[in-house]
Amino acid sequence: MSKIISGFSKFTKEEKIDWLTKNYFHNQTETVNIIKQYWNIDTDLQELHDDFIENTISNFYMPYGVAPNFVINDREYVIPMVVEESSVVAAASLVAKFWSTRGGFKTKVLGTTKIGQVHFMFAGDKKDLETYFNQNKTELYAATASITKNMEKRGGGILAINLVDKTDKLANYYQLHITFETKDSMGANFINSCLEAIAKKFENETIEIVMSILSNFVPECLVRAEVSCKIDELGGENPQKFAEKFYQAVKIAEIEPYRAVTHNKGIMNGIDAVVLATGNDFRAIEAGAHAFASRSGQYTSLSHCSIDNGIFKFWIEIPLALGTVGGLTALHPMAKLSLEMLQKPSARTLMQITAAAGLAQNFAALRALTTKGIQHGHMKMHLQNILNQFEANESEKEIITAYFDKRTVSHSAVVEKLNSLRKPIINWVNFLDENIVRTHLSKLNIASEPNFGSMNAQQMIEHVSAVTQIANGNWVVNTFVSDEKTARRKPFLNTDAELQTGFKASFLAEEPNELKFNSIEEAIDDLADQVALFVKVFTEDDKRTVVHPFFGELDFGDWQKFQVKHFTHHFKQFGLL
């Protein structure tokens, strides 16, 4: 049956979920519960979120954290960050505190120009096109007057409109390259509206408009963030060596694209987190940043380092077309909260804050890479994710966190440690304590059902008694156990391991033995007598050894270890422990 559907967008949210779960999920009830679990209980707030995009069925939560201790241009900040990757917020916070005592971050906006383009085809004489453009340029500005009016009041608007010849790249291809200033707005809708108005005015019978759209490559909407100090102030055992390795790491990212991509991804860990928290478009920022890193024709590092004249300097220049008004920044309650946390910055200030977050994240990553290695700190943070994945309780988290304080964290090591904590504590039976044995066995009756095996309760008691008789010398089992087998099997008696369910010694019959006594009570009395005799015979001859049919020759101590395991095994068989 086809799962192609028409009119899906017209369904109610409940109808969308119903269709989706029936067609794509096996456990519909569980799926619906998960989807609705993430709905906001405030219906008005949920409706607000529903209207952000189309076909909304739920919310996808991301952690919202804060990185304190940032000092940027001598002003203190707590920076909000939305990110799913562990260690990002912690790393940014640690680096912020580190640089807060070394002058903090110094930032500067180098430009705020944004770009839009009208792409069109023209097959005629280029001089005719240039004449037409120059004659109508004023009219192109006028075509956007109603759109740019309010923006111009805030000091923004269209800065320039230029005709660009691209026919050397594509036959008949030209563009109107238009620069904008959008002040505190991201400006996407503003720019696109202007472009469409200009395109409509510019188009004629010889000019074919292909498309009109802003560009996310904004190399002139640029911000710089920098930290610096004397090399001796970097701290550590050998600050000079650290500075040199750090410098080399940055230089490698400048010349090696494979490294540069990962290097810049670390920068974007910090930048994207702030962009998301403030309701800006992180995809546009990502695209523009990576294009900027490739502007020379080779992909390279966005950050740079120098260690001249005893001074360590680390900086970044990156295009960040951000806004603090309009769009999601005005709709999303958490975005508005983020901007208030940042002391209601202008777009220019937000650019500087965001660049500082990216530089902090990059410094943290490079410091880790050139000292302890990136996994040391990252896996320490990831430890909590692993523990949450396996639903560790607070006690388990405390024990395991302390355990890995000076150990290397890995997924398998954490799971192994967690499993060791969760390993059932075995309530070993002290078979030499007659009161304990009688108290447990008195709970049994002829109708007691075993958890495993085919023996009934009395047969089990008589079986344990019979095996004790082997040690006492009252039951001689003609079984040979080679020295090689004894050497291999006997160490088991010194472990915390239990006898496995289903274990059956070769000397035992397939079916349980016929009952020897008239009642369970008589069987218990006999077992007590056999245990007393067990102690007596070994006490009288402290050098006594008796061959166990499976483990081989055992002394008193080894027989005791076996008896503890054997009693515990059969007591568990009937749920007595």
Catalytic residues: 85, 265, 281, 378
Q: 453 — alpha (psi -120 to 50), left (phi > 0) or beta? A: left
Which residues fall within 8 angstroms of residue 571, CB to CB, at 6 or more apart? 429, 440, 577
Structure tokens at 169: 């790249």
CA–CA dist 115, 321 (Å, integer): 10
Residue 445: Cβ within 10 Å count: 11
Residue written as token pair 């020897």 = 516
Q: Say if residue 131 is exposed, middle or buried (CB neighbours under 10 Å; 0-12, 13-18, 19+).
A: exposed
Radius of gyration (Cα) for the chain, nearest Å? 38
Q: Which amino acid is at 569?
A: H
What are the C-alpha distances in Å from 314 to residues 222, 303, 320, 358? Answer: 17, 7, 19, 12
Residue written as token pair 């000397």 = 507
CA–CA dist 299, 244 (Å, integer): 23
What are the C-alpha distances in Å from 416 to residues 19, 363, 385, 386? Answer: 42, 33, 15, 12
What phi, psi does 2 have (nearest 5°)? -70, 140
Read out DSSP for 422-452?
HSPPP----TT-HHHHHHHHTT--TTPPPSS
Contact 216, 284 (CB under 8 A): yes
**Cα-Cα end-to-end distance for the chain:** 55
Give the pairing of strands 173-181 and 106-109: unpaired
Give the pairing of strands 222-230 and 106-109: antiparallel
Residue 524 per-residue DSSP state? H
CA–CA dist 542, 559 (Å, integer): 13
Long-range CB contacts (within 8 A, 24+) of 283-290 = 284/188, 284/216, 284/321, 285/320, 285/321, 285/322, 287/216, 287/217, 288/216, 288/217, 288/218, 288/319, 288/320, 288/321, 289/264, 289/318, 289/319, 289/320, 290/264
Read out DSSP for 64-98?
EEEEEEEEETTEEEEEEEE-SSTTHHHHHHHHHHH
